[in-house]
Amino acid sequence: MAQLEWSEAPTTPLVVNGVTLEYTCLGPSPDKAPTIVMLHEGLGCAALWRDFPARVAARTGMGVLVYSRQGYGQSDPAELPRPLDFMTREAVDVLPHVLDQAGIERCILFGHSDGATIAAIHAGSVEDFRVRGLILMAPHFFTEEMGLAEIAKARAAFETTDMKERMAKYHKDPENAFRGWNDTWLDPAFKAWNVGEVIDYFRIPVLAIQGRADQYGTLAQIEEIETRSYAPVDTVILDDCKHAPHLEQPDQTLDAVAEFAARLERIEAADVVPV
């Protein structure tokens, strides 16, 4: 049974494991249509998706649930330092409860960057028949030197520019949000992080989207999905695009998302259960 309020400006809190999470809902509720659950990037939050969730809801006719993970947006701050397996913990210990409280019946997990990794880990680690498809935008499955170098640049920017003040427009505790992401990725032990094995357990269709000029990861991340997944994989590689396809190439990204969602619905409609 749904426990959160399906509204763009909900007043009912979403509390998971004692942590209050910011969220917003658009389009039809889960009892009326499938839901696209959007999982933000490492320094993102619900608001930083900007108008893209509304465009997704309008284009697909599906409901859209967006929430800010602990430590981001207006959600409760995270305990620092984060454990090195923080994305796995989010996928296994938090996301299922979010889906429960939203009353999700059928959904597509749509993640960006760290959010894409969380979606992938959930699909490859949790037996959850509500999840019918994955949209992985700029995912990470292993560390790359070029990506770690960009994250180190972000630390320098946070410490020497007005980045903290700019983040404060969206995050209740920008220091907590930044350190929870940056300090973990730059921990020397994190260089060995690799969750590629979760791809081996995908059993649902996947749409992988990445900018060709992504500064945080090479196309090796997408190739990992293509070579390891037993489930169908569609890939969209966008030219003139870095790490945020939904902001840098929004129309092409929206087209790909809408086509994937529509195809999943056709598959669902054609699926006949034997008598």
How many CB atoms neighbour CB 182 within 10 A?
Answer: 17
Beta bridge partners of 135: 110, 207
pLDDT band at 268 (very low <50, low <70, confident <90, very high): confident
Instruction: Report the CATH architecture of 14-265.
Output: 3-Layer(aba) Sandwich (3.40)
Residue 2 has pLDDT above 80, yes or no: no
Residue 36 has pLDDT above 50, yes or no: yes
Structure pTM?
Answer: 0.97
Per cent of the chain over pLDDT 90 is 95
Per cent of the chain over pLDDT 70 is 97
Mean pLDDT of 86-97: 98
> What pLDDT, on a 0 to 100 scale, did the predictor assign at position 269?
86
pLDDT band at 272 (very low <50, low <70, confident <90, very high): low
Write the pLDDT tens digit of every residue in 234-266: 999 999 999 999 999 999 999 999 999 999 999
Q: Helix axis angle, 52-60 relative to 250-270, nearest 10°?
A: 40
> What pLDDT, on a 0 to 100 scale, did the predictor assign at position 1?
55
Strands (E), the chain: 14-16, 19-21, 23-26, 35-39, 63-67, 107-112, 131-137, 206-211, 233-238
> What pLDDT, on a 0 to 100 scale, did the predictor assign at position 3?
83
